[in-house]
Amino acid sequence: MQIEKPLIINATESEKLKPILPKPVILSTPVTGWNGFYFAYHRQLNHKIPETCPSQHISAICIEGFQANMKINKQWQHKSYSPSDVAIFPADQISPAVEFEQELGFIILCLEPAFLHRAAYESVDADNIEIIQQLQTHDPLIQQIGLALKRELEISIVDSRLYAESAANMLGVHLLKRYSARKLNIREYTGGLPKHKLKEAIAYINENLEENLSLA
């Protein structure tokens, strides 16, 4: 008997997601040019997702409570999620198949592995970064990051890049600190920029206010 392989998914390839997320995305950031971060807000009817293997680190945030069946260790289990629950699916790790029993609104926050390496301030060997999968956890910070980004992007996507990248950087550091398989020594910076550097940065911002400035 042929064993089905997990479906490899890339959150930035919307056309290839249609078999598992048939309804079009309601709100999202551009798939390119946002420094390895992608946000999407969906509302999907009761649908099924097979076993998958994501290319990005994905944090999924519930908008409202829902019921689902999830295939864990080859056994289907019934699970109930509350509006404050989140799930974390690390890149290149197998995520279980899920059957949703109702229409569902949810936010996904996707970080490219390279983004997570940058979030560690270059103090961590890339080979030592391993995020632990969370099928259901209560994490108010991830929830608030997702909801804040949704509100910001609903106002304007055009000038929200700096806001989004700052939130994504916070998310990356949070994932590394709370959900890493190894204790990581993430460098902390204090004292801020020297005055002349801060002056240069402010001048650059003022001179480029009409541009969609990035955090970099």
- Please tell me the predicted confidence (pLDDT) of residue 43: 93
Q: What residues pair up with 99 in beta bridges, in sequence order?
A: 48, 69
The residue length of the chain stands at: 216
| DSSP code per residue over 128-162 | G--BPPEEEEE-HHHHHHHHHHHHHHHH-STT-HH
Number of H helices, E strands in the chain: 5, 12
127 contacts: CB under 8 Å, gap ≥ 6? none
1 part of a folded domain: no
What's the pLDDT score for residue 160?
A: 84
User: In this structure, is residue 216 part of a structural domain?
Assistant: no
Q: How far apart are the first and last CA of the chain?
A: 51
CATH code at position 172: 2.60.120.810
**Sequence-distant (≥ 6) Cβ neighbours of residue 145 within 8 angstroms:** 109, 167, 170, 171
Residues of the chain with pLDDT below 70 are 1-3, 33, 121-128, 183-216
Instruction: Using the Cα atoms of residue 139, residue 21, residue 9 and residue 161 in order, give the sign of their dihedral.
Output: negative
Domain of residue 104: give its range.
7-207
Judge whether 214 lies within some domain: no
Task: Let me know if residue 95 belongs to a domain.
Answer: yes
- Residue 129: C-alpha distances to residues 35, 96, 165 (Å): 19, 22, 20
| Inside any domain, residue 45 | yes
Q: Note the pLDDT of residue 1.
A: 45
Q: Could you tell me if residue 138 is inside a domain?
A: yes
Residue 37: name the closest of 93, 100, 97, 109 by CA: 109
The dihedral over CA atoms of 143, 146, 148, 152, expressed in degrees to the nearest 10, equals -170
Query: How many separate domains does the chain show?
Result: 1
Res 190: pLDDT? 55
pLDDT given at position 38: 94
